[in-house]
Amino acid sequence: MINFEEELKKFHPSVEIEEAEDVLYSQDTTDLADVLVDVIKEAKEEE
C-alpha cells in the first residue's frame, strides 16, 4: 500500500515547472475582463 505521507516528504517540484511558472507569472497578460473594462471606458469617453 502507498504511504502518502512518506511520498509527500520525498516530493520535489520539477525545475522545468518552476521555470515555466516564473515565465508565465512574470508576463503581463490581458484577460477578457481587462478588455471589457477598456471597451467600457472608451465607450463612456465617447459619450
HEC string of 1-47? CCCHHHHHHHCCCCHHHHHHHHHHHHCCCCCHHHHHHHHHHHHHHHC
Q: Measure CA 4 to chain center.
A: 27
Radius of gyration of the chain (CA): 21
Domain-by-domain residue ranges, the chain?
Answer: 13-46
Model confidence pLDDT, tens digit, residues 2-35: 999 999 999 887 778 888 888 888 877 778 888 9
Q: Supply the pLDDT for residue 30.
A: 77
Q: How many alpha carbons fall within 13 Å on the CB side of residue 24? A: 6
